[in-house]
Every structure is written in structure tokens, then in C-alpha cells.
Structure 1
Amino acid sequence: MSKVAIIGAGVSGLSMANYLEKNNFDYHIYERRTEDDVKGHGFILPKEGIEYLSQIIDIESLYKKGSFLKKYICYCHNGEVLSEKDLDDVFVISRSELIEILSKGVPSGNISYEKTLTVDDFSNGKANLSLDDKTSIDADIIIASDGSRSRTRRKIFEDEVIKAVLENEVVNIIEDEEIANQIESNFLKFHHKNGGLTFGILKLSPTKILWYCQFDITKYFINEDYTPDCIKQFMLDNFGDWNPLVSSIINGSSYENAHIWRVYELEKLNPFYHNNVVFLGDAAHPLIPFTSQGVTSALKDSYTLTQLLMEGENLQETLKKYEEERKPEIEIHIKNGRTLLNQFLLPLNEQPKNTLPISYK
């Protein structure tokens, strides 16, 4: 059985570890951050993502930690309803809760925190790996799941072009039972009439709300020291006079764990593998957040790769099949994400009606 090294213990790395654990692979995860380094960030899971998660976790534990969304309701920033659409088995959960659930499926001896694993070079068609202290790590397969700005990917594909998307986000969680009581289990999204500025609200539990804003980086700016006070001032300056629900959430939030999501995309996808290194999730294919498909795509990557590793004898043929299976769907989500981004930048009266901020293949 091949020995597998996983770089990164985010959702994609932990999902892969869970699939490998279920199928008795020899693996170890190396994560450069601390175990408790979890910011206020959340995920939307369409039905397909839930189905893949159900193969590796106790799905009831997921349902206890998040919430199903009944409708998507689109508003103007002043609260005027623009459109409504029913949602079919769409689920929302905080990043910290999902990480905690996935971590339970990985034995503690199979994961090392504060360990940066680096691909040094290749010899005999195999990557040479080392930790910060120069300790060599032996592995037959290296799975790079180290995020959209993957260090591993940039080291191997030195000529890649990664560019900033004209949209960034602030993501945060507020715990306030009084405000939560005002919100049904719907996905609420407020749009400024001039375009390029939105505020989304998703109820996680009877007391907890996930909120985020999206902004056109050519028009709106956050001081780059990203202190809690700077983030709060940005929110007050740009959303303080919106619908009272929005302003109450902004004023009632703590900003200590607010997450600034600087969004990047590859100008052109790289191969999904190189020699015995294979890329997973955002490390393989950064997706614009409008798609709401980041987690589901990572889960499908993990499932597909595990199945092919179980079936295949020749690693290069296995990794080639993995790319052939996953790349066409990813290209659809990339196309959809760019379309949704372009719509977001337009004034509200020029945006299509009844657009759902979830990409489907």
C-alpha cells in the first residue's frame, strides 16, 4: 500500500484524510498553522456536497451544527424584495464546526500541526520532501491541499499566472439570539443599487448568524493592516445606512475573528498533478466564491482520487484519470463564477433577475 503525505489540514486535506482512513491507506497530514487557528468563516453546501460528506462522517453530527436553508431572498440595500427562490437541500455551516467534525475522523497520530512540508526537488520521478528543521519525509504520493495560493503549486508551476479577482469579502459570525429570532432559515442577500457591494446573511443556529459582505476592490478599500477596528469602520462606512437588519448585525458584531478573504484565480488551470504530487481543492482549482462550490468540489476531488488510487496500479495513469474526471466540471464552475462576478459588478437594474449564487454543473 502506498504511503501518502497530505499538505494542509483545511477542509480539502481533512476530507481526503477521512476517505483514506475509511479505506485503510497509510497517510499523514502536515499543517503549518496551529490547531486552533480557525477564523469566522462559513460554507454553503448544496445537496451533492452533503451526499459526499455522508460517506465519511456521521451526517447527524453535521445537521446539529448548521442549518438547512429554505429560500434565497434577494433584496435591494434598503430592504425592498427583488426576488425569491426555493432552495433544495442547501446547508450552511461554519468553517470551525466543519473542521471539527472532519478532524474527529482522523486519528491524532496521523496529523502534525505547526509543520511546514516542502517539496524540495524531484529525483527518479519522485518528490523529495522536508520539514522546516530539514527532516526528510518519505512518501510515495504527495497530496497538496494547501489552498488557493498553494506554495506547492507555485514551486512546481513557476510560470503560472495567478491574479486578484475584482471582489474581496469580509466574513464574520455574530452570536445574538435577539437578532437570530428575526431571521428565518433563509439565505438573505442585500445588493446596493449601484452594484459591486452586497451583504449576505445565513442563520447557523437559534443564536448564531454567519454574515459576509462582498465588495468591488476598485471602488471600496480596507486599510491593509486589517485590524478589527479598521474592518468595523469599513463596514460602518459602507453598510451603516442599509436596511436596519444589516446595520444591527454590523453594530452588534465583534471583529476580533473577522476574516478578510482576498480572492484569487488562476489565469489558466495547471495540470492537476506533477510526477507523484497531486493537487486537491483550491490548490488545484481556486474557485470564485460566488459559486458556493468550494467545499463540494474538494469533497468530490477527494472521493474520486481515493477511488482511483484503490483501483489503479500505475500512479501516473491514476493521476491522469483523476484530472480527466474532475477538470471538465471544474471548468464549468470557473465559467459560472466569472459570469456571476461580472453580474455583481453591474448596477442592480442591469443584473439578471432570479440569479442564484450557487453554480451547478
Structure 2
Amino acid sequence: MQLDALEISVVGGGIAGLAAALALGRRGASVTLFEQAAEIAEVGAGLQISPNGLRVLRALGLEAELAARAPRAHAVSLRRGEDGGEVLRLDLARIGPEQGYHFVHRADLVDLLAAAARAAGVRVRLLQRVATVEDGPRTRIVFENGAEHRADLVLGADGLHSRARHALGSAPPARFTGQVAWRALLPNVIGQPAEARVLMGPGRHMVVYPLRDGRTLNLVAVEERSRWAEEGWTHADDPANLRAAFAGFGGDVPAILGALDKVHVWGLFRHPVAERWHGRSVAILGDAAHPTLPFLAQGANLALEDAWVLADALARAEDRASGLAAYQRRRRARAERVVGAAERNARRYHLRPGPVRGLAHAALGLGGRFAPGAMLAGFDWLYGHDVTAEA
């Protein structure tokens, strides 16, 4: 269908919304993006762009700019939390030179996408807080200040508490996983190279990797506990709580925890993947459709995949209805598989001391030493997926 005949509105100025706006704007659609904040920006945090997400950025012409801002990752190292000893090392060079893996500051990726979207003609309207989205032949957006806007198609990229998702029916309640996560940025006091280190311990684990020029470390630490913590990334916590939770970890962890001066904490909740991803003229993507736990580092990558497939499906379709149906058909099973795999990963990281943990670590070590290619091949379904080449 001719996208230049469509007036499209995107709700949400994060990675999913900006990538969708850019992909559609590049195809000639008239796109307006509504963001509730006073500027297109992100709180400080790191994320990992794996080969499946990088392919989308490459297709959008942004790979070189990403590489200039984000170091290429060399390895993933699984380590024992108690002493920092390495259990398994995955050499990311083995996935091939064309399948890069990058550590990027979230704000840098948002800036990159926002600049490209504006250059593609996307109109960005700030301080726009959406109250309701009403599906119909032309979807109606009602803002908290009483203003209204209608469009041929509204895309909900407005995250966990998406107004657009409610337009498609009420979402099932989320389930607290019994885990909370801290995140922080701190100086790279241990001189860690461009690798992601996963430090595993009983009922908890920590992930650290460098950002930008390598002088900053991104930290995400997860602990199993029954005490509930609210969802969201903006809840400040006392660094002493994080230090206490990981007091039994050794190796570089004491130095890392000693360098903390500010942390945030949030509860990890399991949200079902949406049953319906679209209505008559509403579609959802990113966390609005499939919030995922952080144990595969795939939230941003899934958002990029969604954005590309949505634009591609609409461009290939004869009409809006068939394009939206194709989008859901191409994405839902993929999202369910990634979300499920992420949830299972936490259990592997949190094994208690004993025979099961010993055998699991021994098997990982032997596999990494004698069959490193086979270990990485286990991720082919994830990293080898290429939405830009789908027929």
C-alpha cells in the first residue's frame, strides 16, 4: 500500500516509537510522534545491541553512527560470584564480522534515532500526555489537557502501562517474579575491557559491561526476594542495600560496589505477551506488546525488530487491515519465544551451592573449552534472526 497516503501517529518517544517513526517516515508516511516528556531523552542506562537488532540499525543506515558511539563487545564471560572465577567465556568474534554486538548507552541510541527521525520528516510534539486511545476507522487520541487528535493509524509504543494496549482490550494482571533489580552507572574502577561479565550466585546475579569510551561501567544486579518493589526504572535506592545483598560476592565485586554513589531499583514483573497487537487503526509494539525480563538483553532488540516489521508489513500489504494482521503474524511467536527464554535464564544464574550447580558449571566450562562454536550456535535462533530479510 502507498504509505504516503497514511497519517500515522506514534505515542511514545523511546526506542520502539522512534524506530517505528523513522522506518515509516523513510517509506513516505506522514508521521507525528507524541512524547509526554519535555524532551526526547533517556535516563542513564546501558543496553546491549545484539546482531538481530544491529541488522535493523544497519538497514536504517545507522550502523556506522552507532559504532562511533558504542564499543563493540568482544566476549560474554560467565563467572562465579563468590570468587570471580570464570566458568564460561563466549568469544563474540565467532558470530562473524558482519554480526556485530555493541554495548550502548541508552541515551546515545535514543539521540541517534531521534535525529534520524526528524531528518526523515517526523514531527515530534513534546509534553503530550495521553489519557485515552479509542480505536475506530480513524483512531482518536485524547490528551490529559483535553485536546484531541485523530489519525489513520496510531502506534502505541508507550511502554508497560500503554494507553494504546487498553484500546485493544484490558491486559491480564502482571505477576511479580519474586525478583528485584538494581541498575547503576559507575566509573570503570576495575579497568574492565569490552566484555559483559555475568557474576552468578545463589539467588542473585550481577551483570557489568563498559559503555562509551570504556571509562563507565553499566551495572544491573538482580536478587530473589519476597519483598515487592514497584515497577519502573526511576525509583532511587540506598547503595547500601545493594552492597548488603551482594556482600558474599568476591573478585572485582567489592571494588565495583565501593564505587557506587547512586542506584535505582525496580521490581521485575512477568507480563503476558499481548493476545491482540492491533485493532482497526491501532497497533502496539515494544514493551506495550511484550514486556520482557532483562535476562537475555533483548528489550531494545525486540523493539527494533517490531518497528522494522511493522513498517515493512504495511508497505507490502494491499491495505491497512492486512498489513496489521501480517505484522502480528510475523512478530507474536518470536516475541513469546524470547520472553520465555529470558525468564528461564534467571534460574540458570541463581543456582544454589551443591551438586546441581557444580555439574552445571562443569558442563558449561567443558563446552566452552572443547566446543565453543557449539555453545554460540545455541544462540543462532536469537542472534541469527534477520527481520530485514524476511520475505
TM over 0.5: yes
Shift of 1:152: 2.5
Answering whether residue 216 of structure 2 is matched by residue 208 of structure 1, we say yes
- Aligned equivalents of 1:159 and 1:44: distance in 2? 28
Question: Do residues 56 (structure 1) and 60 (structure 2) align?
Answer: yes
**Aligned counterpart, 2:320:** 315
How big is each residue's C-alpha offset from its partner over 1:92-120, in whole Å with a ceiling of 9 and x where there is no partner? 11111111111111228711222113434
CA distance in 2, matches of 1:333, 1:102: 24
Counterpart-to-counterpart distance in 1, 2:299 and 2:171? 24
Distance in 2, Cα, partners of 1:348 & 1:26: 57
Q: Which residue of 2 aligns with 1:167?
A: 179
Aligned equivalents of 2:80 and 2:30: distance in 1? 52
Which of 313, 335, 341 aligns to 2:340? It is: 335
State the partner residue of 1:117: 130
* Alpha-carbon spacing, 1:360–1:171, altered in 2? closer, same or farther (3 Å): farther
Query: By how many angstroms is 1:344 displaced?
Result: 3.6
| Residue 329 of structure 1, CA deviation | 1.1
The 5 Å alignment of 1:180-219 reads 182-192=191-201, 194=202, 196-204=203-211, 205-218=213-226
Give CA-to-partner distance per residue, 1:179-234, whole Å, 9 cap, x none: 25x21221111112x2x211111011231111110111327979x9x875x33111
* Alignment of 1:104 onto 2:115: yes
Alignment partner for residue 13 of structure 1, among 5, 11, 17? Answer: 17
Match of 1:149 in 2: 161
Residue 306 (structure 1) aligned with residue 317 (structure 2): no
Deviations along 1:294-313, one digit per CA (max 9) or x if unpaired, are 11211111111111222223
SS at match of 2:101: strand
Distance verdict in 2 for CA 1:221–1:278, change over 3 Å: closer
* Amino acid corresponding to residue 126 of structure 2 in structure 1: Y
Asked if the contact 1:116/1:131 (under 8 Å) is kept, the reply is yes
Q: Which digits, 9 at most, give the CA deviation of each residue in 1:51-75, with x for residues without a partner?
A: 1111224322211221222221111
In the TM superposition, what is the alpha-carbon distance from 1:163 to its structure 2 partner?
2.1
Give the direction of change, closer, same or farther, for the CA distance of 1:135–1:285 in structure 2 (3 Å limit).
Answer: same
How many residue pairs get matched?
351
1:228-247, Cα deviation, whole Å (9 max, x unpaired): 5x331111212245225222
Whole-Å Cα distance in 2 between the matches of residues 172 and 56 of structure 1? 30
Decide whether the 8 Å contact of 2:171 with 2:274 is kept in 1: no
Counterpart of 2:74 in 1: which secondary structure? strand
Q: Which has the larger displacement, 331-340 or 91-100?
A: 331-340
Deviation at 1:147, TM superposition (A): 1.0
CA contact (8 A) 1:308 1:318 kept: yes
Unaligned 5+ runs, structure 2: 365-374, 383-391
Rounded to whole Å, the distance in 1 between the matches of 2:170 and 2:235 is: 33
Aligned to 1:135: 147
Checking the alignment, whether the CA contact within 8 Å between 2:9 and 2:31 is kept in structure 1 is yes
- Distance in 2, matches of 1:234 and 1:102, equals 35
Q: The residue matched to 2:116 in structure 1 has which SS?
A: coil
For structure 1, which runs of at least 5 residues remain unmatched after alignment?
A: none
Most deviating of 142-151 and 155-164: 155-164
2:182–2:264 contact (8 Å) kept in structure 1: yes
**What is the TM-score of this pair, normalised by structure 1?**
0.88
- Checking the alignment, whether the CA contact within 8 Å between 1:240 and 1:250 is kept in structure 2 is no
Aligned to 2:330: 325
